Amino acid sequence: MKHLRAVNQKARRIQEHIENDVVAMQGPQGPAAQRPHVPMGCSIVFSPGWEVDSSGGTAGLCQPVERDLYDCYISCYWPAQVPDHMNNYPDWTAKCAAATKDWRNIDLVFP
């Protein structure tokens, strides 16, 4: 609204009230939907396996969930739900390249 200028008190109040002037339909409308509170990310959620999706459910997870297994520490550096590949158990998946197919070959780890 840079082409319009508030000239009286009411107009100036409206201008102060509206931070974003005109927003096209593509923009987010209304208040953001409430999202589930997942404390500390996926680290302490053990149902159904080790994480939930952003809506608190499981429909948004990789299917089967094993597809997502290795990404827990490749992109998250988050060793809580899987053995600590970085420091203590570097070989726990040495016999399992494709987790979906070979998950039975994953080593048991006893911390």
Under the binding rule (CB under 8 A), the answer on residue 53 touching other proteins is yes
The question of whether 68 is a catalytic residue gets the answer: yes
- For the bound state, the minimum distance from the C-beta of residue 10 to other proteins, rounded and expressed in Å, comes to 23
Query: Judged by CB under 8 A, which stretch of 6-14, 15-23, 40-48 contacts other proteins?
Result: 15-23
> Exactly one of 45, 49, 85, 106 binds other proteins (CB under 8 A); which one?
85
Question: Per this entry, what is the length of the chain?
Answer: 111
Residue 22 interacts with other proteins (CB under 8 A): yes or no: yes
Instruction: Indicate the burial class of 2 (C-beta count within 10 angstroms; 0-12, 13-18, 19 or more).
Output: exposed
DSSP labels, 63-95 = SSGGGGTTHHHHTS--TTSS--TTTT-TTTTTT
The half-sphere exposure of 76 on its side-chain side, counting CA atoms within 13 A, is: 18
**84 near other proteins, judged by CB under 8 A:** no
Cβ closest to other proteins, residue 9 vs residue 51: 51
Strand segments (E) across the chain: none
Sites of contact with other proteins (CB under 8 A): 2, 20, 22-24, 26-27, 53-55, 57, 59-63, 67-71, 73-74, 85-86, 90, 93-94, 96-101
